């Protein structure tokens, strides 16, 4: 049976169930924040980096056990050099070699502007088998003024010291020869050490412009 609760001055905690009829919309409108212990399942924006003729973009803080999933969003990533790959790597602790061991897979779908060519296939040039190179998550990106790449990368429990670290990326690129090319990339970092930093860069040349946002998500 629902209990009627009356607010008492100086009392900060009450027990019981508030009848629905006693709850007005303004009650929720006045809630501006939840305690950190309350999981919402919604992405929390942690950091934003903006490229400007940048050799790379790095996220070196805020990656810990606070969140189960770390999600990166790529917005209008424009390369300085034509026909390049967009890549990433990770590292542990304060290491800055960015050479963690990766096993990965990549397949693509693409379609040109004239509607004459379509393709769905495995991109063997972008996979790794216990490799330590930067992992491509977008390929053949053009550097014309209107060409760029966009997409997302999710890394699952990077702070785990028990399991390998899985990742899934999905990007679409405006190819240098006027194709829409979508990449589906996935794999794992084969380490049980906590990953604490990520670096993004082009296979050649600078990141001319664009934004990368990092979010934390609680499972």
User: What pLDDT is attached to residue 164?
Assistant: 98
Average pLDDT value for residue range 169-189 = 98
Higher pLDDT, residue 132 or 22? 132
Q: Decide if 119 is inside a domain.
A: yes
Handedness of CA 39, 75, 119, 102 (dihedral sign): negative
Beta bridge partners of residue 172, listed in sequence order = 150, 182
Q: How far apart are CA 34 and CA 97, in angstroms?
A: 38
Q: Decide if 111 is inside a domain.
A: yes
User: What pLDDT is attached to residue 37?
Assistant: 55
User: What pLDDT is attached to residue 204?
Assistant: 98
Host domain of residue 89: 44-217
CATH code, domain with 78: 2.60.120
Q: Are 90 and 158 in contact (CB under 8 A)?
A: yes
Whether pLDDT at 180 is above 60: yes
Percent of the chain residues topping a pLDDT of 90: 81
Say if residue 10 is exposed, middle or buried (CB neighbours under 10 Å; 0-12, 13-18, 19+). Answer: exposed
Q: Decide if 34 is inside a domain.
A: no
Whether pLDDT at 43 is above 90: yes
User: What pLDDT is attached to residue 49?
Assistant: 98
Q: How far apart are CA 10 and CA 15, in angstroms?
A: 15
User: What pLDDT is attached to residue 41?
Assistant: 76
Whether pLDDT at 95 is above 60: yes
Q: In the structure encoding, which two tokens stand for residue 175, read together?
A: 């190819």
User: What pLDDT is attached to residue 23?
Assistant: 61
Whether pLDDT at 12 is above 60: no
Per the structure, the count of domains in the chain is: 1
Q: Decide if 55 is inside a domain.
A: yes
Q: How far apart are CA 109 and CA 183, in angstroms?
A: 7
Q: Decide if 26 is inside a domain.
A: no
Whether pLDDT at 11 is above 70: no
The predicted-structure confidence for 121-160, as pLDDT tens digits, reads as follows 999 999 999 999 999 999 999 999 999 999 999 999 999 9
Q: Decide if 197 is inside a domain.
A: yes
Q: Decide if 146 is inside a domain.
A: yes
Percent of the chain residues topping a pLDDT of 70: 82
Whether pLDDT at 10 is above 60: no
Average pLDDT value for residue range 10-38 = 59
Whether pLDDT at 56 is above 90: yes
Q: Decide if 172 is inside a domain.
A: yes
């Amino acid at each position: 049976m629902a209990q009627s609760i009356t607010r008492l001055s100086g009392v900060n905690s009450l027990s019981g169930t508030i009848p629905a009829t006693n709850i007005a919309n303004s009650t929720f409108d006045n809630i501006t924040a939840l305690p950190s212990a309350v999981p919402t399942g919604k992405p929390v924006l942690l950091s934003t980096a903006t490229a400007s003729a940048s050799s790379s973009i790095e996220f070196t803080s805020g990656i810990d056990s606070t969140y189960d999933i770390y999600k990166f969003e790529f917005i209008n990533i424009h390369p300085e050099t034509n026909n390049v790959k967009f890549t990433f790597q990770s590292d542990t602790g304060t290491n800055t070699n960015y050479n963690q061991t990766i096993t990965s897979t990549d397949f693509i779908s693409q379609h040109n502007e004239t509607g004459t060519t379509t393709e769905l296939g495995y991109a063997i040039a972008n996979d790794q088998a216990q490799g330590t190179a930067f992992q491509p998550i977008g390929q053949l990106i053009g550097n014309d003024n209107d060409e760029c790449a966009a997409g997302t990368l999710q890394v699952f429990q990077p702070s785990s010291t028990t399991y390998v670290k899985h990742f899934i990326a999905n990007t679409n690129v405006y190819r240098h020869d006027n194709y829409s090319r979508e990449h589906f990339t996935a794999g794992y970092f084969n380490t049980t050490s906590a990953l604490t930093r990520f670096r993004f860069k082009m296979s050649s040349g600078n990141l001319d412009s664009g934004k990368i946002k990092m979010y934390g998500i609680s499972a």
